[in-house]
Amino acid sequence: MKRFGMIGLICVGFIAGILPINTYSVGVSIARAEIAVNTFEEDALKFANMFLTDEAFHTMLELTIENFKAIAPADTPEKVWERMKSASKKEDFQRMVTVPLYMDWFTHHEIKEIIEIYTSPVMQKFIIIQPQLMQEGAKRGMEWGRWMAEQIKEQ
């Protein structure tokens, strides 16, 4: 019984990846795959963080404060806005707003697929060059607009 118990523990250790597998004696090398299993909420947060950078959060926060200032009494002290800014944390916003929103609109499987798409090399390239694409697209759009104006003028 003790022997079976020890063998069972060793097997569990190999399966869990705790103990190394040495297969040099048979000339076979086995690569151990690391499989991360995230909860739905963890994946939704990963997804949310892909789109809401720290810079984007701070820009959104500044706009939010400006909107509050527009409807607040004119004599609201500036320190109120400073406290609001210093108390606002991206992590709280993600936890209270973005993550539940994504979990309401997407399944866990869909979020995993979106993460896979957005982390692919081709999508990373697209994200990096998107500003240049928009600039070039604007130039070409203006050229098309001039061409269209010529077409209309000729009629």
Question: Is 14 inside any structural domain?
Answer: no
| Beta strands, E only, the chain | none
Any idea what DSSP says for residue 34?
Answer: P
Question: Is 79 inside any structural domain?
Answer: yes
Question: pLDDT digit string (tens) for 32-53?
Answer: 334 457 899 999 999 999 888 8
Report the domain count for the chain: 1
Sign of CA dihedral 127, 66, 46, 108: negative
Question: Is 76 inside any structural domain?
Answer: yes
115 contact partners, CB below 8 Å, separation of at least 6: 43, 46, 47, 50
User: 113 lies in which domain range?
Assistant: 37-120
Question: Is 128 inside any structural domain?
Answer: no
Question: Is 140 inside any structural domain?
Answer: no
Question: pLDDT digit string (tens) for 58-109?
Answer: 999 999 999 999 999 999 999 999 999 999 999 999 999 999 999 999 999 9
Question: Is 111 inside any structural domain?
Answer: yes
